Amino acid sequence: MCQGQLQSVLLAPRGVVDPAQKTAVKLKCVQDEYDRLRQDILHYLESIGSSSKMEDVLQTTAKLSDSLRTVTSQKQKKNLGALLRELEGWRKSLLQFLTNLEDTYPLYQDLWAGIGAGVQGVAMGNQLIQHGIQAALQRIGIDRNSKEDNMEDSLIQLAAFHSCQVYNKLTDCQKREKNLV
């Protein structure tokens, strides 16, 4: 994720497209479009793609991931749910930015392809963090569905667990063995 952020910052267009091209051809007809592209990328780097936004998300994730093994209170569950929603919203914003670049500036793909790859790296890192949190929540799924949430869901999860069926088959076999002896 950090690599994608670094790539986005380093590969963002900073000035004129190409000095040789600037002197050879006057780009007056597309200069406005190029300026809008630069403004959109700079806006991205100052808002959803900023390093402070990434640091905030990573710090929040680190704080909440420490308590992930011992999620017991409603407040912890709500915090994790809020973090997952925030990560999903951030990921959608990143992908929307990429879609906007593709749709609005198809002629400048050579300029935004590098930053686009960086944005995709950030989105992928975001998705990996989301997946890790969701997997940890699934591992503790029975604990997560405590009495105050929904006892029926906990019982359904327990009944669906395959070892209960295996246990029933074992006890049936043991009963048959006793009858044979």
68: DSSP letter = G
| Residue-level pLDDT at 143 | 45
Q: How many domains does the chain have?
A: 2
Looking at the fold, whether 134 and 159 belong to one and the same domain comes out as: no
pTM of the model: 0.63
| Residue-level pLDDT at 100 | 94
Residue-averaged pLDDT of the chain = 74
- Report the percentage of the chain scoring pLDDT > 90: 12
| Residue-level pLDDT at 141 | 61
Domain range for 87 is 2-144
CB burial class (10 A; 0-12, 13-18, 19+) of residue 97?
buried
Looking at the fold, whether 54 and 83 belong to one and the same domain comes out as: yes
Query: Which of the residues in the chain have pLDDT under 70?
Result: 1-30, 69-73, 140-181
CB burial class (10 A; 0-12, 13-18, 19+) of residue 8?
buried
Looking at the fold, whether 76 and 116 belong to one and the same domain comes out as: yes
Looking at the fold, whether 46 and 129 belong to one and the same domain comes out as: yes
